[in-house]
Amino acid sequence: MCSIRGNGSEVVEHVVHSHRLKTGKHSAAAECRQAIRLIDQNQVDAVGYAFANQNPEPLVSHLERAHPLLPLYQPQSQPELLREELRLVREHLDRLHADFSDDDYNVEMAVERSRDDLMRRILLREVKSKAELNSRLSLTRAPFAADEHSFLYELHLPEGEQYLHTRWRYGLDRLETALRANFLGRFVEHVYYGAALLDPGHLRVIACQMAGQPEEDLEALGRRVQAHVNQAIQEVKDYMDLDLLIAQYTMLDSISDLVPENG
């Protein structure tokens, strides 16, 4: 790990040793140029930075350009907050480097898997605070615009339970993966789609704007998302003979609407 902050190294080391967190070797840099050299010349698992009297833009730009998948974290000044931040870092790295025996390890695929997992957590309302949400978004380097409007769909599967028991023999998780990967897609026309199958009769879908895209009229964007969801529903019916019905539609101010305000 690498942190860039005035006295952040001492705080990180204190928390790591006090709580015996398995974060591996920790290195610190005092300014942007030193940090960039440190990151480029070493195998860094995660980077945390916070500047009081420096412009972070050179480091931020370098990370975006040269290390777009490298997890980022916030080196908090309070030990208890930092302990929780490092716990999330450790959890994320363990997940990122988990042994998926059916797949050859590929960092891009692992990061995409972690982003899908994060969105699933959000949709299942397993992310318990705005602070946790922001930390997980930074760690996954999520490409969706978390602060922009999103579109949430609650889809009803009227025969989902029967379908699972009589026609689909691969379990709930694989049905969710099939619906998301084969029909909704992940990135479609600069929109990110996430999904979570809450139970055999309830699929929750979210459509998020991608970061860095030109501002688009919300009504036009909503129509585009609706057309894609309708097409996915029809294709599921055509190819899987499974009915999906839109039970509820909500436009969210941001994905943080799915997280408790003061969790």
Residue 23 has pLDDT above 70, yes or no: no
Domain boundaries in the chain? 2-140, 150-257
Residue 29's pLDDT band (cuts 50, 70, 90): confident
- Asked whether 144 and 120 are in contact (CB, 8 A), the reply is no
**Beta-carbon-side half-sphere exposure of residue 51 (alpha carbons within 13 Å):** 13
Residue 42's pLDDT band (cuts 50, 70, 90): confident
Mean pLDDT, rounded, for 45-58: 81
Predicted pLDDT of residue 8: 44
Between 208 and 51, where is the model more confident? 208
Residues above pLDDT 70, as percent of the chain: 86
Buried b (16+ CB within 10 A) or exposed e, 155-177: bebeebeebbeeebeeeeeebbe
**Fold annotation for 150-257:** Alpha-Beta Plaits (3.30.70)
2-140 with 150-257: one CATH topology? Answer: no
Digit-coded pLDDT (tens) for 194-237: 999 999 999 999 999 988 888 889 999 999 999 999 999 999 99
- Extract the tokens encoding 179: 């619906």
Residue 77 has pLDDT above 80, yes or no: no
Residue 44 has pLDDT above 50, yes or no: yes
Under 8 Å CB-to-CB from 67, ≥6 apart: which residues?
A: 39, 47
DSSP annotation string for 160-197: HHHHHHHT--S-HHHHHHHHIIIII-SEETTEEEEEEE
Predicted pLDDT of residue 20: 41
What CATH code is assigned to 2-140? 3.40.50
Predicted pLDDT of residue 11: 38
Digit-coded pLDDT (tens) for 208-218: 998 888 888 99
Mean pLDDT, rounded, for 170-178: 94
Between CA 65 and CA 14 the distance in angstroms is: 32
Residue 9 has pLDDT above 70, yes or no: no
Residue 12 has pLDDT above 80, yes or no: no
Mean pLDDT, rounded, for 46-58: 81
Mean pLDDT, rounded, for 35-52: 84
Predicted pLDDT of residue 13: 39
Candidates 200, 203, 195; CA nearest to 120 is 195
Digit-coded pLDDT (tens) for 237-247: 999 999 999 99
Whole-model pTM? 0.83
